[in-house]
């Protein structure tokens, strides 16, 4: 019996890939998609090492304005250029620069009086990313200065209560000098390293973990593979419907084998070709484009086999519910897109409502994403994804049973 199943599977693969263009598409499709993924990941290596240009207009009549400029200059992310207001506004209007900061003439005076103030910061919307980086860097410099001022104010209060500024005390400094001195020592102290530092570390078993705060697309290569694998499998099972339409399926039925064996053989063919396509995506990604698929090949293989199995089951289930091949295209797309979205293949699940996050565990796509993330980003091993793989196989068995039972052969 097994031999018959394999023979039919081989026949299916042979007829599918008989024409050169079908072979090309069957194999080229995964390569094209991987290229898209690879390019997307290549794009997103985060803000480049270069510095972002920031125009600063310093009209402050006191000293704090230039201290702020020094704080800004100390940040390697920024390339500070001092300009007058007119030039800066003209450059901004011409959309030549990404951001400009304006320090008003009463900056020092108001700050030393303990006032809160807000500086004009104009960013060019075209450079959304650099604008954000620059904004954060500027705010950090402002916070540092504000903190020095708070510290100096406290020191001044203490000295006042100790009576340092009582009239007639010989050799005592003026309040203004004392405050300035305090600001200077606070700034020096902070630049030599603040008391508490905060360190973010990725929780992963990988030997070479990435950045603690990874950027978008690094997350998405398994997601894109999962989406396209679903499309491959559905295209494969839809071939059953096409064969039924063209009458080749009923011709096969005249052979002296049972329906069950024909179905098993066909599905095995679909399963093999989908698994191969998934594997091509992974291998081409890893070796040609340097896409990160983790350090646990056995786990990845298990997840690929389990996931394509569950989707093959889903495919036959869908095939059993439709009459024509154009219907199966519509129905499979309407299934795949929500499965991809709800399973976390299109965007990180953390940004969706909680009920959606919980739902993901009950979807093949969600289980697959969980398994791939465990292996690739968390650096866990084969034994840690057995549960996900088992659940996928269980899904597959149920789908296959219902689908094969309901499928009409002619």
Partner 1 sequence: MKVLRIAWKDTLTRFRDRKALIGLLAAPLIISALIGLAFGNINFGGSEPPLSHIPIILVNEDDGQLGQVYEDVLTSDALADLLDVTKMDDLQAARIQIEQGEARAVVHIPTGFSNQIIPASTGASVGQASIKIFTDPTSTVAPVIVKSIIEQISAGINTVNLAAEISAQQAMEYAGILGPELARLAEILPEELSQENFDFETQKLSLNKSQVGEVQQDINAFAYFVPGMAVYFLMFSMFGGARSILDEESRGTLPRLMTTPTPISEIILGKMGGTFLTGVLQFTILMLASRYIFQLSWGNSLLGLAMIVLLTVFAASGLGALLTSFTRNQLQANVVGMTVSLVFGALGGSFFSTQNLTGALDFASRLTINRWAMDGLTKLTISGAGFNEVLTEAAVLGVIGLVTYALAIPAFQRRFVK
Residues 231-250 that bind partner 1 (CB under 8 A): 231, 235, 238-239, 242, 246
- Of 147 and 257, nearer to partner 1 (C-beta) is 147
Q: Which is nearer to partner 1, 350 or 410 (CB)?
A: 350
- For partner 1, give the closer residue by CB, 122 or 295: 122
- Provide the CA 101 distance to its chain's centre, in angstroms: 31
- Considering only residues 357 to 376 of the shown chain, the ones binding partner 1 according to CB under 8 A are 370, 373-374
Residue 349 C-alpha from the chain's centroid: 10
6 vs 217, beta carbon nearer partner 1: 217
Report d(CA 71, CA 191) in Å as an integer: 9
Instruction: Name which of 108, 48, 111, 110 is nearest 79 in CA terms.
Output: 48
Scanning the structure block, which residue is given the tokens 């690739």?
A: 376
Q: Which is nearer to partner 1, 356 or 398 (CB)?
A: 356
Q: Is 333 in the site for partner 1 (CB under 8 A)?
A: yes
The least distance separating partner 1 from the CB of residue 3, rounded to whole angstroms, comes to: 27
- The CB-of-298 to partner 1 minimum distance in angstroms stands at 19
Judged by CB under 8 A, which of 11, 13, 32, 394 binds partner 1? 32
Residues 69-98 that bind partner 1 (CB under 8 A): 92-93, 95
Strand partners, 52: 78
Spatial separation of the C-alpha atoms in residues 334 and 321, rounded to whole Å? 14
**Continuous segment of H or E residues that includes residue 256:** none
Task: Give Cα 126 distance to the centre of its chain.
Answer: 22
Query: Contact letters (x/-) for partner 1, 156-195, by CB under 8 A?
Result: -xxx-xxxx----xxxxx----x--xx--xx--xx--xxx
Q: How far apart are CA 378 and CA 33, in angstroms?
A: 25
Q: For the range 208-214, what are the long-range contacts, defined as Cβ-Cβ under 8 Å and sequence gap of 24 or more?
A: 209/379, 211/46
Tell me the CA distances in angstroms from 41 to 35, 160, 297, one per residue in order: 10, 59, 21
Q: Tell me how far apart the alpha carbons of residues 229 and 335 are, in angstroms, rounded to a whole number.
A: 13
Residue of 122, 261, 301, 382 interacting with partner 1 (CB under 8 A):
122
Side-chain-side CA neighbours of 160 within 13 Å: the count stands at 9
Q: To the nearest whole angstrom, how small is the minimum distance from the Cβ of residue 364 to partner 1?
A: 17
Q: Fill in the per-residue mask, 269 to 308: x = in contact with partner 1 (CB under 8 A), - = not in contact.
A: ----------------------------------------
Residue 22 within binding range of partner 1, rule CB under 8 A: yes
Name which of residues 193 to 232 contact partner 1 (CB under 8 A): 193-205, 209-210, 212-216, 219, 224, 228, 231
Structural contact between residues 64 and 107, judged by C-beta atoms closer than 8 angstroms = yes
Q: Which is nearer to partner 1, 2 or 14 (CB)?
A: 14
Residue 117 CB, nearest distance to partner 1 (Å)? Answer: 7
Q: Which is nearer to partner 1, 125 or 254 (CB)?
A: 125
């Amino acid at each position: 019996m097994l031999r018959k199943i394999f023979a039919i599977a081989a026949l299916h693969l042979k007829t599918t890939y008989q024409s050169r263009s079908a072979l090309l598409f069957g194999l080229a499709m995964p390569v094209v998609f991987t290229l898209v993924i690879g390019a997307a990941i290549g794009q997103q290596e985060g803000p480049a090492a270069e510095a972002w240009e920031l125009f600063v207009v310093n009209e402050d009549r006191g000293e704090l304005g230039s201290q702020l400029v020094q704080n800004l200059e100390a940040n390697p992310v920024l390339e500070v250029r001092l300009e007058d207001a007119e030039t800066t506004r003209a450059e901004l209007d011409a959309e030549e620069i990404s951001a400009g900061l304006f320090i008003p003439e009463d900056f020092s005076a108001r700050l030393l009086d303990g006032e809160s103030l807000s500086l004009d910061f104009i960013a060019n919307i075209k450079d959304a990313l650099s604008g954000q980086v620059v904004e954060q860097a500027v705010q950090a410099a402002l916070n540092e200065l504000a903190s020095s001022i708070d510290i100096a104010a406290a020191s001044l209060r203490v000295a006042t209560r100790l009576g340092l500024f009582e009239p007639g005390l010989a050799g005592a400094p003026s309040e203004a000098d004392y405050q300035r001195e305090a600001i200077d020592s606070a700034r020096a102290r902070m630049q030599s390293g603040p008391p508490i530092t905060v360190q973010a570390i990725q929780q992963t078993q990988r030997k070479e973990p990435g950045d603690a705060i990874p950027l978008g697309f690094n997350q998405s290569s398994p997601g894109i593979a999962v989406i396209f694998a679903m499309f491959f499998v559905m295209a494969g099972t839809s071939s059953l419907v096409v064969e039924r339409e063209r009458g080749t399926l009923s011709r096969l039925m005249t052979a002296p084998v049972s329906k069950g064996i024909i179905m098993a053989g066909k599905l095995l063919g679909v399963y093999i070709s989908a698994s191969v396509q998934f594997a091509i995506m992974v291998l081409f990604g890893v070796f040609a484009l340097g896409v990160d698929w983790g350090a646990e090949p056995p786990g990845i293989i298990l997840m690929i086999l389990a996931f394509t199995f569950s989707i093959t089951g889903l495919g036959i289930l869908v095939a059993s519910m439709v009459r024509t091949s154009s219907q199966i295209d519509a129905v499979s797309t309407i299934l795949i897109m929500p499965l991809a979205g709800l399973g976390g293949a299109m965007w990180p699940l953390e940004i969706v409502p909680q009920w959606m996050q919980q739902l993901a565990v009950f979807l093949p796509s969600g289980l697959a994403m969980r398994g791939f993330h465990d292996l690739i980003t968390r650096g866990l091993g084969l034994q840690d994804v057995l549960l996900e793989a088992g659940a996928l196989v269980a899904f597959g068995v149920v789908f296959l049973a219902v689908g094969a039972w309901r499928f009409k052969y002619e």
